Structure 1
Amino acid sequence: MLKKASVFALILAGVLVAGAFYVAIMPQKLSRQDFIATAAQDPARGEAVFWMGGCASCHAAPGSTGSDRLVLSGGLAIESDFGTFHAPNISPDPEHGIGQWSELDFANALLEGVGRHGENLYPSLPYTSYTNMSDEDVHDLFAFLKTLPASAEPSRPNALSFPFNLRPALSFWKILFFSEGPRVTFAEPSDQVLRGQYIVEGAGHCGECHTPRNRLGGLDESRWLAGGANPDGPGTIPNITPGSKTIGSWSESEIADYLETGFTPDFDVAGGAMADVQQNLSHLPRADLEAIAAYLKAIPAQ
């Protein structure tokens, strides 16, 4: 009898451990109560969030120009040390896009990095920054996306090697590197600096390229915006803190001018991936560009 009781205890302990492990790796989703949206969607505001978030840069077909940048058929190949990610179709198409997604599905993707079917999403979608977006902006962005043309182009699968192709393992990555909240703490920030912080650290996701990463792909926040490896090939993405040898000497007005026009104070032009980023940001009101500049001048120098 004692032996049977010991076996039962071991089985029970194994079940409890397995259950705890299962709970630990299950992606955490928002509930309807967690996601509080405004009463009325505003697609016009959503368009501003769309350009702020650079959605077209990844989700429009590579090389698209003009109105074609609003056809979010996906296809951009994002090379990394872990394999190649392909930006999916996020047009309103019901079969190949997000036409059947609810607003809560969309919020979970952006704010929690969890897909419609409860799966972990890869941080090639920069939800590590988008998590700092307001519910209202997510709400309005979803409304704007629904106004765009549908595309029946199927999403291309990612090409990842083992073990990076195991989505459940991302739960452990999230424990280490995924959290919401400010990346920089200010003593007495102005409203303008706070607006710039919201854009840069949230929808604008500037740190995803301009901050170095560790070997597991997590952002090294101790070197926030100090520059990082170029995700598109050789070279580096520049330091954009006040300690930079380039942008560090620019005035707030010159930074805002660059974001608006693409021209540096020395009449050079934005190049590489930044050319596309600048094109997106040029759609924002001047006040937002000046807020970004104020934030970049207020953060610690690196």
Structure 2
Amino acid sequence: DHQPGAHRRYTTADVARLEHMRKLVIAGVPPADAARAALALTEGDLSLADGESRRIPQPIEPSTARSGGGNVIALPGGGPLARGLARAAQALDIEACQQILAEALTDLGVVQAWEDVMVPVLGAVGERWRDTGRGVEIEHALSGAVQDSLSSWIRGLAPSTEGRAVILACAPGDQHSLPLWAVSAALAEQGVGARILGANLPEDALSNAVRRLGPAAVLVWAQVEDTADARTLMELPTTRPPATILVAGPGWHSLPSAPGVSRVATLDDAVDRIRYALGR
């Protein structure tokens, strides 16, 4: 409602339309199309959209989306959910990131959501930071949203931790713990609980955990070669029955395999090896 010479007064419906348009744009819809869609909503539509769960609408197909300009995170070949996540991360809209991630996990499952949505966007954000020195805040916001979403997914599944333990840890000096959460979430979908010991776990701490828990499987992630030290694995205490020792991450790729240690290349492979170690 607007009268000449007076401040414009926005109604509740106006605000709801603006919010709906914002979500559409973040999800990948061109602004002009998002504006038309928001204006076309009736009062009933707005009420329904607000009460449903505030889920991000399905973005349009990549072939019809337009670029948002030079500041957009490059995501060649990215699907609708990946592009929506990139836009939400660019906007530092953590709530929208979490909504899109929840949709991806529900619709695709952990493995596909990780490989087709999370990894491409995390990689693109990281590459942009390496190339330009900008966007650390985007990387931190996105990483936090991914971890929170995977953690919530695990809690919702409430996997069993009975029986022999599964230990997931980063190599000493390695700070990249998100893949551990992906492994844990994928295991949770199979009813398997895991213990995440997190980033930069000292060698003696991992040895203590193995000694105390007598795990069926231990997976150690190394993102870079500088943190991938086979001695960390060779000095782990021997348990009875013995644990399956797995390494994952690009840091291990150029190193010779150590005796009794298996390298896993994919999330599916990690889950299969751990389930086998558990006898499932």
Q: TM-score, normalization: structure 1?
A: 0.25
Q: Compare CA radii of gyration and give the structure with the larger one.
A: 2
The structure, 1 or 2, with the larger RCO (C-alpha pairs under 8 Å, 6+ apart) is 1
